[in-house]
Amino acid sequence: MSAHKVHIIEPDFQAPIETVVKNRDELGRAISKLAKSEGETVYFHDFKEPVAGAPVVMLECSDDFLEKVKKLPGAANVYEHDVTTMPTARDAAVQHYFNEAAKPPKVICKKPKPGPRP
């Protein structure tokens, strides 16, 4: 898998923005679920610099898996992203967000003990 081959998967943009974002989220979770069921390693990307634009899924995956992604409901348009013009990077937060099995992080701080604080 090439670290430089990133694809943009667009949901259908012919809806109000709230619906487009919802559809993008469902598409990202469907991709994550498909990857898990296929035993495929995939990486979700985000831009290295803040960029305003349409809500899309940026995915690094094998060509074979990409063909399966293209068949998912909601994948309206799929094309390779030129990372030289707008650099992206693997993003753990996006990966976690689209992982349908992800659970909220465990609280790691303890309740304070009663009494005066030092």
In a domain? residue 114: no
C-alpha 55: how far from its chain's center?
10
Report pTM: 0.78
| 29 inside domain | yes
- Say how many domains are in the chain: 1
Q: Determine the structural domain holding residue 59 and report its residue range.
A: 6-98
User: In which band, very low, low, confident or very high, does the pLDDT at 117 lie, cut at 50, 70 and 90?
Assistant: low
Q: What is the CATH number of the domain that holds 80?
A: 3.30.70
Q: What is the pLDDT of residues 1-60, one digit of tens each?
A: 444 589 999 999 998 988 999 999 999 999 999 999 999 999 999 988 877 778 999 999
Does residue 117 lie in a domain region? no
Residue 113 lies in a domain: no
Distance of CA 22 to the CA centre of its chain: 13
3-state secondary structure of 15: coil
Q: Please give the residue that has the higher pLDDT: either 55 or 103.
A: 55
Q: What is the pLDDT of residue 47?
A: 87
